[in-house]
Amino acid sequence: RRSSDLLRQVEHSQKLSSIGRLAAGVAHEINNPLAVINEKTGLMRDLIGLRDDFPDKERFLLLIDSVLKTVMRCRDITRRMLGFARRLDVTLEEININDVINETSGFLNQEALHRKIDLTLDLDADVTGIVSDRGQLQQVFLNILNNALAAVPDGGHIDIVTRGDAEGVSVIVRDNGCGMSKDTMACIFEPFFTTKKTKGTGLGLSITYGIVKRLGGEIGVESELDKGTAFTLRFPKHPKHEA
């Protein structure tokens, strides 16, 4: 069984590496026309700004600013794609994981309230700081919580539990949603595997798995059809960061 698990991890890493190369290629291809759009739009703004008699001057300047803001947003997206491909976006600092969970769950409170979902936090007050990346931890918990919200019915519940010890911190995210079969559980960390049909990309949990491993952590899942799912994450106090 151990050799089978190791083989699966190697295959998973190879697939993530292929996605990374694809993401880098796409990002570079997109950045070139973005640079042209940014340059020409900036020139248009300068030319319009020089003419006091330009018709509807203020309206056109506002439209140009909107285009430039959209270009910057696209650049942020391609930067994240390159960061995923090169694994350069890890910034290590001492973090209290309870703070990260409070922040991330706060993004979802409105949807939970609207759907009458009980989102419960059981956070160990004695949890000590770990050395990790705040932004990537937020992405991990956001991905898992979004999956839980998609799985639970209106009126359901999601529990988030943290427990700390001398070696690090454990986090459990448990829901009473639709659950998964054993066949599905064996594939959930595979790139492009999704049960959401047209609504999912199949990259959320795959990227989550990659981030957790990159931060020196472990992730596991237990699930039963029609009863719910529990993700267990373990983060060390001091990860061996892979550059």
pTM over 0.75: no
Q: Give yes or no for a contact between 161 and 171, defined as CB atoms under 8 angstroms apart.
A: yes
In 3D space, the residue among 214, 112, 124 whose CA is nearest the CA of residue 171 turns out to be 124
What is the longest distance spanned by two Cα atoms in the chain? 77
Q: Which two tokens stand for residue 71?
A: 């270009």
68, 155, 194 from 187: Cα distances, Å: 41, 28, 9
Question: Where would I find the beta strands (DSSP E) of 82-240?
Answer: 93-95, 118-123, 130-132, 157-164, 168-175, 218-224, 228-236
Buried/exposed 183-217: b ≥16 CB within 10 Å, e otherwise: eeeeebbbbeebbeeeebeebbbbbbbbbbbbbbb
Q: What is the pLDDT of residue 198?
A: 47
Chain centroid to Cα 104, Å, comes to 11
Sorted by sequence, the CB contacts under 8 Å of residue 169 that are 6+ apart come out as 97, 127, 128, 130, 162, 163, 234, 235, 237
CA gap 241, 133 in Å, rounded: 10
For each of the chain's 243 residues, which pLDDT tens digit applies?
A: 555 555 555 555 555 655 666 667 777 788 889 999 999 999 999 999 888 888 888 899 999 999 999 998 888 777 766 665 555 456 789 999 999 999 889 888 889 999 999 999 999 999 989 999 888 898 899 889 998 999 999 999 999 999 999 999 999 999 999 999 888 888 887 766 566 654 544 456 888 888 898 899 999 999 999 999 999 999 999 987 544
In 3D space, the residue among 41, 40, 46 whose CA is nearest the CA of residue 64 turns out to be 41
